[in-house]
Structure 1
Amino acid sequence: MTQTRPPAEVPAPARPWHATQAPPRPKALTTVVATASSVIALTLLVAVGEWSHQVLLIPPLAASMALIAGASQTPLGQPRSVIGGQLVSALTGFLVLAVLGQGVWSSGLAGGLALGAMLLLRVAHSPAAATAVIVAATAPSAGPFLALLAAATVLLVLVGLVGNRVNRQAYPVYWW
């Protein structure tokens, strides 16, 4: 008597290499409002900087605004993380600057330590690590830099509030 085996299950076809799990493209209006919010916020920083004869627009703040306008539902885009992360990172940069002085090695250390400090304080904001690098590389005056950074991040969050309201996005997801 011959035994018959049950038929082997045919494996499901593998997903083609070109298939994606990326999120869908946002609606056109969402993209337009997010872009306009970013342009308004960043040019406001330039205008206030020109008026006050200070540099307010630094690259990490452009990245911060991209998160506020384009990824507002993520923890990295919340006001707590934007404002807190930027200030914690700047303070970390000033601490490294005080101990080791200005330079590229100090900058690398400051960027890495800033991430650790932000994680410990629950204010992770990836663009802010670059702020620590800028502080250790350029050695700005602490008082004015911190005051301007605080004002700039608050301005970004305020513009983000308006833009996200126009887009009917609940922002912030949480404040603190």
Structure 2
Amino acid sequence: MLIPPLAASAALVHSTPTLPLAQPRSVIGGHLLAALTGFAVLAAFGHSAWAAALAGGLAVTVMMISRTPHSPAAATAVIVVLQAPRALHFLGLLTAATALLVLAGMAATRAKSDSPTYPVYWW
């Protein structure tokens, strides 16, 4: 189930659109890197609670190194390890969902004249 981390991402994008954590690079890149980290941990260590915890921690590390910090994405890595979804299907849906989330953030800030423009930067 991918709903919880995407709900947290939506909350960041819509309530704090100027934060670095809410920018498209972090939202899309953070989730994708976290998912890839989760798949790597799943392949190396299998399906267990310990592997899920490791995936979450490694995902945060990978996001910090790549300058794509997005804390809700750590849950994406955990979900990948715990649920072991098909990689291509999961990554496709995740990419579409995060892109749609960013587009919704853009539309929401354009609809309100007094809100800051989202995104502040793309890359």
- Distance across 1 between alignment mates of 2:72 and 2:34: 10
- Distance across 2 between alignment mates of 1:80 and 1:147: 17
- Alignment identity in percent? 60
**Counterpart in the other structure of 2:54:** 109
**Counterpart in the other structure of 2:121:** 174
Shift of 1:157: 0.4
**Counterpart in the other structure of 1:72:** 17
Shift of 1:86: 0.3
Helix, strand or coil: the match of 1:126?
coil
Shift of 1:78: 0.3
* Structure with larger RCO (C-alpha < 8 A, sep 6+): 2
- Distance across 1 between alignment mates of 2:60 and 2:3: 18
Provide the TM-score with structure 1 as the length reference: 0.67
- Distance across 2 between alignment mates of 1:158 and 1:170: 12
- Distance across 2 between alignment mates of 1:169 and 1:73: 7
Higher helix share: 2
Post-superposition Cα deviations, 1:7-57, rounded to whole Å, max 9, x if no partner, equal: xxxxxxxxxxxxxxxxxxxxxxxxxxxxxxxxxxxxxxxxxxxxxxxx6x5
- Distance across 2 between alignment mates of 1:170 and 1:126: 22
Post-superposition Cα deviations, 1:51-96, rounded to whole Å, max 9, x if no partner, equal: xxxx6x5210000000000011100000000000000000000000
What is the correspondence of 1:52-67 to structure 2 with a 5 Å cutoff? 57-67=2-12
Shift of 1:142: 0.4
- Distance across 2 between alignment mates of 1:103 and 1:139: 10
Shift of 1:165: 1.4
Shift of 1:112: 0.2
**Counterpart in the other structure of 1:130:** 75
- Distance across 1 between alignment mates of 2:57 and 2:24: 22
Structure 1's consecutive aligned runs of 4 or more residues displaced over 4 angstroms after TM superposition are none
Provide structure 1 residue ranges, at least 5 long, that are not aligned to the other structure.
Answer: 1-54
Helix, strand or coil: the match of 2:72?
helix
Shift of 1:170: 1.4
Q: CA RMSD in A?
A: 1.0
**Counterpart in the other structure of 2:91:** 146
- Distance across 1 between alignment mates of 2:66 and 2:16: 21
**Counterpart in the other structure of 1:25:** none
